[in-house]
């Protein structure tokens, strides 16, 4: 096997692996999926991907409907180049992975905890999606620039 073809793994962690980490995974894959193996997981996975997270990404042309909620320990036996935590609980619970070079903590509000009408909650998912898109698009573009340059 040609080692050059192996993409570095970026693992995005949150507690439930139902909203934020999946939105970040979908956005980063859309920007830098040709360069990076982007995965997400949780320290206490919810067991599902939140329907409003799927809907919020569909609105910007990204399909995460096939994603599944996974435990972060599934990745302990493989090289993970970069770990990005998107909530405080996951940042505290996060182990060090084999091959880990970088670790970032970029927290976002958990839209699954939003209260209000269905439309108000949906709007909170959009706000968090847009924040995640700004951060993870910039990160992905930076990774692409450094790979080319």
| DSSP, residue by residue, 109-140 | --GGG--S-HHHHHHHHHHHHHHHHHHHHHHH
94 pLDDT higher than 80: no
Residue 81 has a pLDDT of: 94
Range of the domain at 15: 3-136
What average pLDDT does the segment 120-128 reach?
A: 98
Quote the pLDDT of residue 101: 87
Q: What pLDDT, on the 0 to 100 scale, is given for residue 95?
A: 75
State the DSSP code for 141: H
- Say whether 94 is catalytic: yes
The mean pLDDT value for 56-83 works out to 95
Q: Does residue 21 fall inside a structural domain? A: yes
Note whether residue 115 is domain-resident.
yes
In this structure, is residue 147 part of a structural domain?
no
Q: Give me the mean pLDDT over the 58-62 stretch.
A: 98
Task: Tell me the average pLDDT of the chain.
Answer: 92
d(CA 136, CA 16): 19
Q: Of residues 10, 23, 83, 87, which has the active-site annotation?
A: 87
Neighbouring residues of 42: CB distance < 8 A, sequence distance ≥ 6: 13, 14, 15, 16, 17, 18, 21, 69, 70, 71, 72, 90
- CA 86 to chain centroid, in Å, comes to 8
Please report the pLDDT score of residue 100 as a whole number.
Answer: 82
Report the CATH number that the domain containing residue 28 is assigned in CATH.
Answer: 3.40.50.2300
Q: What is the average per-residue pLDDT within 77-88?
A: 91
* pLDDT tens for each residue of 1-39: 444 468 999 999 999 999 999 999 999 999 999 999 999
Q: What strands lie across the sheet with 102-105, from one edge to the other?
A: 37-42, 9-14, 82-85, 102-105
Strand locations in the chain, DSSP E?
9-14, 37-42, 82-85, 102-105
Task: Answer whether residue 61 is part of any domain.
Answer: yes
Q: Tell me which of 5 and 41 has the higher pLDDT.
A: 41
Provide mean pLDDT across the span 124-148.
96
The catalytic position among 13, 14, 31, 128 is 14
Q: Does some domain include residue 19?
A: yes
Whether 14 sits among the annotated catalytic residues: the reply is yes
Encode 65-77: b = buried (16+ Cβ within 10 Å), e = exposed.
eebebbebeebee
Number of independent structural domains in the chain: 1
The one catalytic residue in 23, 32, 94, 135 is 94
pLDDT in tens, 96-122: 787 888 999 999 999 999 999 999 999
Per the annotation, the verdict on 19 as an active-site residue is: no
Q: What is the pLDDT of residue 2?
A: 42
Question: How far are the Cα atoms of 52, 65, 113 from residue 119, in angstroms, in the given order?
Answer: 10, 20, 14
């Amino acid at each position: 096997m040609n080692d050059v073809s192996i993409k570095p793994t970026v693992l995005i962690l949150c507690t439930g692996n139902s909203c934020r980490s999946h939105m970040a995974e979908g956005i980063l894959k859309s920007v830098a999926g040709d360069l990076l193996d982007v995965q997400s997981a949780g320290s206490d996975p919810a067991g599902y991907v939140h329907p409003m997270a799927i809907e919020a990404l569909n609105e910007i042309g990204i399909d995460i409907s096939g994603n599944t909620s996974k435990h972060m320990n599934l990745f302990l036996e493989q090289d993970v180049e970069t770990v990005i935590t998107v909530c405080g609980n996951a940042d505290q619970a996060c182990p060090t992975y084999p091959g880990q070079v970088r670790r970032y903590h970029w927290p976002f509000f958990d839209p699954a905890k939003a209260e209000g009408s269905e439309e108000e909650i949906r709007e909170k998912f959009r706000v968090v999606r847009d924040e995640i898109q700004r951060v993870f698009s910039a990160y992905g573009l930076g990774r692409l620039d450094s790979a080319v340059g």
